[in-house]
Every structure is written in structure tokens, then in C-alpha cells.
Amino acid sequence: MKIAVLVSGGVDSSVALRLLHEQGHELEAFYLKIWLEDELAYLGDCPWEEDLAYAQAVCDTIKVPLHVIPLQKEYWQQVVSYTIAAVRAGRTPSPDLLCNQRIKFGAFLEHIDDSFEKIATGHYAQVAEIGPALCWPVGPAPIRQAQGERTEVVTQAKQVILLKAKDPVKDQTYFLSYLSQTQLNRLLFPIGCYLKSEVRELATKFDIPNKSRPDSQGICFLGKIKFADFVAHHLGKQQGDLIEFETGKKMGTHDGFWFYTVGQRKGLGLGGGPWFVVKKDPAKNIVYISCTYHSDDKARNEFDVESIHWISGIESKKKDLTVKIRHGEHVYKCSFESSGIQRAHVKIDAQDQGLAPGQFAVLYDGEHCLGCAVISEKR
């Protein structure tokens, strides 16, 4: 096949490229330039040049052309602006989900032509085709059968499902849960059937230039820049009160509610703890904290969701599912009850200290990722 491979300069996408090359596909590599150069130059070192150099070196070893696609404008409009707006509203954003849905498998598609049958990345996930949708070519089948006509069916586009990766720790279906069926139908994840340790072994076997490069961490567009520095750059600082949730007593001050998320423990700068953030009041710039976060009066095992997205385009009829509240291997058993248009109530089988409005809850049926929804404010 002719495949467009998204490379980042990291080990995972480089191994994905090499695996497809070994299989004999016609490949072209693409590096998406989304770094906000002016902004990150102000905040700290911008790593995109180093990333691009590694990506170029990997492509050069197997003579695959590499194209640099500048998407800074699109990224700002569709991902960064959302992140800033969510933080300003007191919500916890998930920019990586929007990056995949709107940029990597959204805006990028406008820069390549239809000759590319598939798009491949270094994500830890898997896709599988399930039973095709079938239809009769012309007229109702019983009539055509009675007339002695041939009764073949026409195979329409197969449904593609998103499955967890072999490596439960590295699994990235959480970040891919916002994709549509149309997007998923064009995707390949060559390393989804490998453990991370096996990917490292393959990198050594292929002797790729970045075989020893450590994994990147953090939000996709920030690189090594701290999220707090990014927020301060856009929203500044404004002193507010740290209030004990149970008593209403002022325990200290903070530089702005936007630096905190529900469930946060570190960075409060108070003695006598441990202290947890339990609530925020954006209108009054108040952060409520508690030493008894896990007590019965602060049950964290149920929540409402909104903006529900099903990858198949069809709502799941199953009520007993599993859910991830954040990226990682941990899942909760849950019940999922629709409570109106694009709303539902979710109850999990344990307490979670970090249920914050704005976070994405990602739903699963076993290994099958069904879609996602946004945790909403309590009614």
C-alpha cells in the first residue's frame, strides 16, 4: 500500500516506519510542525528542531522522503485556544484527544491526497475490521430470488473498531477515543501488537539513529515546558484564597484557581496535611481544600457526562462497561445510564480522587474502545 507515516523523532514512530518499510509498502513520512515557536522561545527551549533532525536521520537510513507540514495556525485555533478557555473556566482540559481528532487525523488529511490508502503512526493501539454491512444491489432480495436472478450481496465499507494495545501500560486508546469511524478506517498502528520493551528491541535491531532516545512526556505541544508556565503566560497570576472545605476557614492564598485541578495534592504549600483540592470557584477565584478528601461525605464514585461520542456513530446498548478516567492501564467497572440527549450518569466500582469537570471519560467493552464523553459539573 501507499502509506503516509506520521513521525515525531521519537522511537515509537520510527519503529512503526521501519516495520512498514520491512513489509515493502510505498512510504512517505510527514512531520507535523505544531510548536508555537515565538511563545515557547519566550518560555524556554523549543525542542522541535531536535525532533525533526532525528526524524530526518531515521528517514535517510531507508531513503524515505520526509515532508514538514506547518500546522501552527490550525493547532492554535483548534487545540491551544480550547485548552486556555477550559482552564479559564475552571475545567481540566485534555488537549491530546483534540490534537488527534482535529490535527493529526483532521487538518493533516487536507495536506495529502487520496493516493495514500492508509495513515500510520506510532500510537500504542490496534484496529480491527468486523463484519461488513451488506446490501442487495437492486430491489428486494425475495423478488429477485423468485425470478431466478443471482443473489450476491454488495459489501459496503467494513466497520473498524479501536482496540487496546498489547502493552496495557503504554496503551493510548484513551487519546484516540474521539476519532470517528471515517478517520479510524484509514489508520494503521504498526506497534500496537508489541510491548514497549519489544519496540525498544526492534529499535536496536534496526539500529535506528534514535534507538536510545528517552520517551517524551507531557502535553504534545509543550514538550519540556511546564504546563503551569504556559498557563501563567496566558492567564497571569491573581491572588485568591485557599479555603478549608468543611469549615470555611482561610488556610492560605494561591496565585490563581487555574493552576489547580480537583484531586491535586502537590503544590499547595501548606503544613498539617496532606491537603487535597476538592472544589474550585472560578467566579470568586477560590480553591477549596480538605485533609479528609477520602471521607464518606466526599464520595467520588459517580458523575455525569456530556458531549458523548461513539466511535461507531451508534450508542452502545450495554449498560455494564469499563471506563478510564485518565491515560494509563487502570480501568473501573461502571454502569452507564443515558439521562437525556448527549448526557449520561456513570457510576464506577471504586472511589477516584481526581474526577474533574472537563476531563474525558473513555468507555470500553472489554478490549474494545467505544468512545468518550466529557465529565460535567455536578447538577
Question: Which amino acid type is present at position 201?
Answer: E
| DSSP sequence for 20-50 | HHHTT-EEEEEEEE---HHHHHHHS---HHH
User: How many angstroms separate the CA atoms of 106 and 35, rounded?
Assistant: 17
Q: Are β-strands 240-244 and 250-254 bridged in parallel, bridged antiparallel, or unpaired?
A: antiparallel
Contacts of 220 by beta carbon, 8 Å cutoff, 6+ apart? 34, 95, 96, 99
Classify 168 as helix, strand or coil: coil
* C-beta separation of 57 from 66 below 8 A: no
H helix or E strand, kind and range, residue 60: helix 48-61
User: Cell triple for residue 5?
Assistant: 507515516
User: How many angstroms separate the CA atoms of 6 and 112, rounded?
Assistant: 12
CA angle 246, 252, 255 (to 5 degrees): 115
How many CB atoms sit inside 10 A of residue 206's CB?
A: 19
Classify 116 as helix, strand or coil: coil
Contacts of 181 by beta carbon, 8 Å cutoff, 6+ apart? 159, 160, 311, 312, 313
Q: Cite the active site residues.
A: 99, 220
Classify 195 as helix, strand or coil: coil
* C-beta separation of 13 from 30 below 8 A: no
